[in-house]
Amino acid sequence: MPRAIAWRGFAMVTGSWALKGFSMFSVIEKASGNWIGRLGPWQPEGWPAAEVGWGLARECWGKGYATEGAAAAMDWAFDTLGWDDVIHCIDPANIGSIGVARRLGSINRGPTRMPPPFEGAPVDAWGQTRTEWRGRRR
């Protein structure tokens, strides 16, 4: 992405840590040492609920990074942050992210509304409760 857009993204994530005490984590590929994206807990203003989300570089899709990282982030959100419920906001056409949500054990709860400037985007809320997550993790 262009440098200015990347900078705004970094500032947003850093600001969330300062203001809320949580945000997405950077994902660094061990083999290459490259930053390949971010994932983890976040809930920007107006978001439909507390989310564990992911966004990775396209060349890293299909390697299990999103599933592994999101699972660790869900453990942290439930165990450390004390969340009772987690969603994943996913475009219904995003087959890859739907697969990640399913591997995590989340179910499609149906359409949800996003805040501006994303209010027109089609998004489904996938998710599960802390009890459901812990039951699957055993």
pLDDT in tens, 45-65: 899 999 999 999 999 999 999
Question: Which tens digit of pLDDT belongs to each residue from 112-138?
Answer: 999 998 899 999 999 999 999 999 876
- Taking alpha carbons only, the member of 54, 37, 62, 63 closest to residue 91 is 54
Q: Please write the tens of the pLDDT for every residue from 63-106.
A: 999 999 999 999 999 999 999 999 999 999 999 999 999 999 99
Q: Find the CATH number of the domain harbouring 112.
A: 3.40.630.30
Question: What does the pLDDT read at residue 12?
Answer: 83
- pLDDT interval class at 1 (50, 70, 90): low
How far apart (Å, rounded) are the C-alpha atoms in residues 133 and 87?
12
**H and E: helices and strands count for the chain:** 4, 6
First-to-last alpha carbon distance for the chain, in angstroms, is: 39
Q: Which of 74, 77, 38, 37 is nearest to 57 (CA)?
A: 37
Place of tokens 């949580």: 22
* Burial class (CB within 10 angstroms; exposed 0-12, middle 13-18, buried 19+) of 106: buried
**Hey, is 14 helix, strand or coil?**
helix
Range of the domain at 35: 3-137
What confidence score (pLDDT) does residue 2 get? 80
- Count the domains in the chain: 1
What distance in Å separates the CA atoms of residue 15 and residue 35, rounded to the nearest whole number? 19
